[in-house]
Amino acid sequence: MTDLPTARTLRRKGTWTDAALACTLTYDDRFLRRKVLELCDGGRFLVDLEHTESLDHGDALELGDGRLVEITAAAEELLEISGHDLVRLAWHIGNRHTPCQIEHDRLLIQRNHVMEDMLSRLGAHVHKVVEPFTPEGGAYGHGRTHSHEH
């Protein structure tokens, strides 16, 4: 099998304290079930969860020896969207099933030239930024799902 430390338990943000280790992952990399990950200190460990999970910034993975690995959202290339009608802009983003971080005065999405063009045509102010990305989870459960069925 593997000699790597193995994490089989996910601890959600707010349910744990004092992580000994840290791992920084992009939004896409935070959707996993079984994968070898690299720690911030260069070490490696295996994640082997029962089901595919969407890890959030601040969650932790528990290794077999009880140590916790804190998950941190990595800085990513994003589009920052602002404008006079954020609700309308958020609707158009959601209508395209695009993950979106919703804040009081701006929206953040992963860089995509098609979305950038559409939002600009709708009157949005669109700027390229590099920041951690923590979009909203699904309405019917925690995080993401594999499919979209109506």
54, 73, 92 - which closes a domain? 73
CATH number of 85's domain:
3.30.70.790
Do residue 18 and residue 54 come from a single domain?
yes
Read off the pTM. Answer: 0.86
Residue 149 maps to a domain: no
Closest CA to 41 of 59, 22, 26: 22
Q: Are strands 6-11 and 44-54 parallel, antiparallel or unpaired?
A: parallel
- Written as tens digits, the pLDDT of the chain (150 aa) is 569 999 999 999 999 999 889 999 999 999 999 999 999 999 999 999 999 999 999 999 999 999 999 999 999 999 999 999 999 999 999 999 999 999 999 999 999 999 999 999 999 999 999 999 999 876 555 555 544 444
